[in-house]
A and B are shown apart, each in its own frame.
Chain A
Amino acid sequence: MKDEEVRRVLEAVEQGHLDRRTFVQRAAALGVGASTFGALAGTAVASSGAVLASPIPGPPYKRGKRGGVGSVAWPDKTVTYDPPLAYDLGGYYGLANFFRGLMAFDGKSNPQLDLASSMDISGDGKRYRFKLKKGVTFHNGREVTASDFKYTFERSSSKQIGSWVQGFLTSVQGHAAFAAGKTKQIPGIKVIDKYTLELRLTKPDVTIPGVLATPPFFVLPQEEVKKQGKNFTFNPVGTGPFKMEKWDKGGSRYTAVRNPDYVYGKTLPYFDELDWQWNVPETLEYLRVKSGKLDATGGNLGSAPSIVAQLRASKNPDYKEWPSFSIQWFELNTTQAPFDDVRVRRAVNYAVNKPRLQSLFIQPTGHFFPPNLLGYNPALKTYGYDPEKAKSLLKQAGATGVELTIPILDGGTGRIEQLLQQDLQQVGFKVKLVKDQASVYDLGSKLATKYPLWYKGWGMGLPDPSELVSSLIGTGAPSNYSGWGNKAIDKLGGQATAITNRGKRGSTYAAIEKILLAEAPFIFLGVSTWVTMHSKRLQNFVWEPVLYEHWDRSWAS
């Protein structure tokens, strides 16, 4: 049993019996892929004390007490639990309750083996071979096979589904033709036998393990998806720790029950039942947790600053502030004056009073890359708060007394825009705010036709800088609305996905961020701080920035 082997190796590391170098060799011998062992090592090194370093992937877990009902509430309206389509908080961050995939992230956002028992990467980095664990079953009792993964990956990449992850497997052979609707399947996804799946790539792509650890690539039972049709959106059938019991749309909640046949079913999950609620504003979440009616908040209490102020003052041990992968910035329309001039773009970056951002629970790093992300370079010089420098840059650029209209887009409180309004007025802009009933996603690239700048936030789905390049900063990237592009970044970004050496890859991304900061197509703010609160009885409440809460490893005392 390789799982057992891996566990023993990890325990040895944890107890300091193995040095890193030996560990890497042992791991390689066990067939754990080159890009994964780093991740495994990361977990192991991070683990300490009572944490069981074990083959169960994900954030640390401890021995807990089985039984009872755990409850959590989320602010948004939940529309679907179909993995490639879920996007709201309570939907997307609940997917791991019902589904699992080949890989899973650990608490440090590194991919680990989950339903795969091994991952082999060919020497040229263009072939990934996964061996599946045997005996893993869906909630309907059927055993998971390699062809289920092929089905799932093709479904998530298909044009018909139109998922936001449609382009995540572009490096796989035949993906382009399939995505265009020309072929019925992706030939690069190969079912070797019942328990062996192979991905053949057109070029090396080290993001593959991470991609496969995101919920839209968690395995689905083909027959259930077909049989249920639209009902699948609220009657998910997967391999996860919980099974959907009752979905109550009117009551804005569902009940899920423990899956005894879960692949780690001997240990996890601890709760017999999960009470999952949505449409509950953060303020109410907090009040319910405080009165003991709820075990944990789902939304970010940081959006309700008075609560956090109260919690900080009370030194409540059940509230926690977590660094997130939620990037906050203002995107500038670089196609038009005044922001077609890099001096003006730099000036507005100097104009922002960064320390004040903390009152809105933004950690004002001044970076685009969140700390803890590969490629984040703390030594990189960012724009400090320097209104005088801003003014002189504006004077140089001849951009004085410029009028700007900043939209407050749907769902925005307008606070961050009002902060910016004052900062920009201090350096000589005339700033008007307008409410726009459309959201940033509704408007997309139309934003640049209406406004000179707008606020944007991005929670990273794939905790890898490649996502930032391919989605936000690459020339013509789907969520790059600034009209800005940089050939050097595009080139480096294209190369980086093929670099297997993590350190080298990290420095490539650091170089990318350096160019980004110098070119300043955005007003860089930082990352938001995620604030949670849980009930006294809830034990081992874990939050990590990729999938947030992990209800399979919490229990009630």
Chain B
Amino acid sequence: MSTAASPADVEEFLDGAARARRTGRVDPVLLSGCVIVGFFIVCAIFAPWIAPHDPDFQQADGLNGIGPWAPFDSSYLLGTDELGRDYLSRLIYGARVAIFIAIVPNAIAMVIATLVGVSAGYFRGRVDTILMRITETVMVLPAFLLALALISVAGSGLWVVVIALVLVSWTYAARVVYGEVLRIREATFIEAARALGASSWRIIFRHVIPQLRGLLVTYFTLNAAFMVLTEAGLGFLGFGIQPPTPSWGAMIGASRDLLFWPWLIILPGVCLALLGMGFYLLGEGLQRRFGPRVPTARL
């Protein structure tokens, strides 16, 4: 009478992990994702030790006669920006913002998505109707414009950006969790727990949510790329984190009109593309290893 496929998925998860342990073979996609993301995480954590200069300080000699130093042209390895700030340091500190954005709003969105998706999927009925209507309503609004609208009303700032990113991304995850919970709740082991007298909360926290681990980890990783790129988009338009805090998107945005100093655009662009790709590879690798294809939020 088994109707739920989810235990099979999770077994696949465990079998896969066990197989990987046995064979010691490493998925190149997963590995490259780990290396790239790991690199930026290291940059983010150790920025004060790695960065050669204060990223916000406009160096007295940071400008030459006609503008900033170009990369490899002076004591500034990657040159300076138009205000004379060391660009390498700004890029390294920019990783802090990017990693923070990839993790914090993402985690909050996952928690909200899990609460909403599990509540709606497990309890069904009116809770389901109300929660999923709200989810769908928010979901049909264009994510980027919604974030822009929120920031223009609330004013920009790190936490406003975090809230905006949470607001535009939790719905997709909630839908995925919801669908998964609809399957899990029909599983026999859930019925067994009920027969044992387990409360709904116990079932949710001991049996339902643990089944979502693989899904949430994969989704979190893929969504991290979305978060980083969305923040960059907001920063590009000047809606992001307050200057002078370096954010790659904002650095590109601030350099839009500086086309003869192309490194100002190219370098943060490369960082963004790399980190976005890193998260994508990581998510793709996790997905290949652990579970079914997961739809993600799109810009």
Contact = CB atoms under 8 A, between A and B. Distances in A.
The answer to whether A and B touch in the complex, with CB atoms under 8 Å apart, is yes
Contacts of B257: 281-283, 303-307, 413
Interface string B59-71: 0000100110000
Chain B interface mostly helix, strand, loop or mixed?
loop
Interface stretch (A365-373, A434-442, A452-460, A529-537): A434-442
B244 A306 contact: no
Interface in A269-313: 281-283, 303-307, 309-310, 312-313
A414 B56 CA distance: 13
A419 interface: yes
Contacts of B82: 305-306, 359, 415
A125 B86 CA distance: 61
Contacts of A359: 63, 67, 82-84
B58 A307 contact: no
B156 interface: yes
Contacts of B152: 437
Interface string A413-437: 1110111011000000000111111
A418 B243 contact: yes
A197 interface: no
Contacts of A436: 155
A312 B239 contact: no
Contacts of B63: 356, 359
Interface residues of A, number: 29
A393 interface: no
A306 B83 CA distance: 12
B200 to A, nearest CB: 45
Given A415-B82, A434-B157, A304 B254 contact: no
A421 B244 contact: yes
A13 interface: no
A283 B259 contact: yes
A433 B56 CA distance: 13
Given A313-B66, A433-B242, A418 B155 contact: no
Given A359-B83, A419-B58, A436-B155, A307 B260 contact: yes
Nearest to A435: B156
Interface residues of B, number: 25
A418 B81 CA distance: 12
Nearest to A416: B83
B244 A312 contact: no
Contacts of A417: 243
Contacts of B259: 283, 304, 306-307
Interface in B65-116: 66-67, 82-84
B258 interface: yes
Contacts of B56: 422
B57 interface: yes
Main secondary structure, interface of A, reads: helix
B248 interface: no
Contacts of B242: 432-435
Contacts, number: 73
A303 B256 CA distance: 11
Given A305-B82, A415-B83, A433 B243 contact: yes
A186 interface: no
Contacts of B83: 359, 415, 418-419
B178 interface: no
Contact of A418 (B58, B67, B156, B157): B58
B156 A304 contact: no
A432 to B, nearest CB: 7
B254 A414 contact: yes
Contacts of B66: 309, 312-313
B193 to A, nearest CB: 51
B214 interface: no
A464 to B, nearest CB: 33
B153 to A, nearest CB: 9
A408 interface: yes
B170 interface: no
B57 A422 contact: yes
A436 B254 CA distance: 16
Nearest to A418: B244
A476 B287 CA distance: 66
A66 to B, nearest CB: 36
Contacts of A418: 58, 83, 243-244
Of the candidates A306, A408, A437, the one having the most CB atoms from chain B within 10 angstroms of its own CB is: A306
A485 B99 CA distance: 49
A339 B136 CA distance: 51
Contact of A309 (B58, B256, B260): B260
Contacts of A419: 58, 83
A172 to B, nearest CB: 43
Which of A282, A413, A419, A436 is the most central at the interface, judged by chain B CB atoms within 10 Å of its CB? A413
Contacts of A303: 257
Contacts of A421: 244
A283 B254 CA distance: 13
Contacts of A437: 152, 155
Interface string B228-246: 0000000000110011100
A306 B156 contact: no
A281 B256 CA distance: 10
B146 to A, nearest CB: 16
Contacts of B226: none
B172 interface: no
B186 to A, nearest CB: 49
Interface string B254-277: 101111110000000000000000
Contacts of A433: 242-244
A422 B58 contact: yes
Interface in B139-170: 152, 155-157
Contact of A306 (B67, B155, B239, B243): B67
Contacts of A422: 56-58
B237 to A, nearest CB: 11
B58 A306 contact: no
Nearest to B255: A306
Contacts of B254: 413-415
A520 B257 CA distance: 33
Contacts of B157: 434
A303 B66 CA distance: 14
A305 B238 contact: no
B257 to A, nearest CB: 4
Contacts of B156: 434-435
Nearest to A417: B243
Nearest to A411: B238
A312 B65 CA distance: 10
A312 B239 CA distance: 33
Interface in B193-243: 238-239, 242-243
A310 B239 CA distance: 29
B9 to A, nearest CB: 45
Nearest to B258: A306
A503 B256 CA distance: 47
Q: Report which residue of B56, B243, B244, B256 has the largest number of chain A beta carbons within 10 angstroms of its beta carbon.
A: B243
**Can you list the 7 inter-chain pairs with the closest CB atoms, starting with the nearest?**
A306-B258, A306-B260, A304-B257, A309-B66, A309-B67, A310-B260, A435-B156
Given A282-B257, A435-B239, 4 more contacts: A307-B259, A359-B67, A359-B84, A434-B156
18 contacts: A304-B259, A305-B82, A305-B257, A306-B67, A306-B82, A306-B257, A306-B258, A307-B260, A309-B66, A309-B67, A356-B58, A414-B243, A415-B254, A417-B243, A418-B243, A434-B156, A434-B157, A436-B155
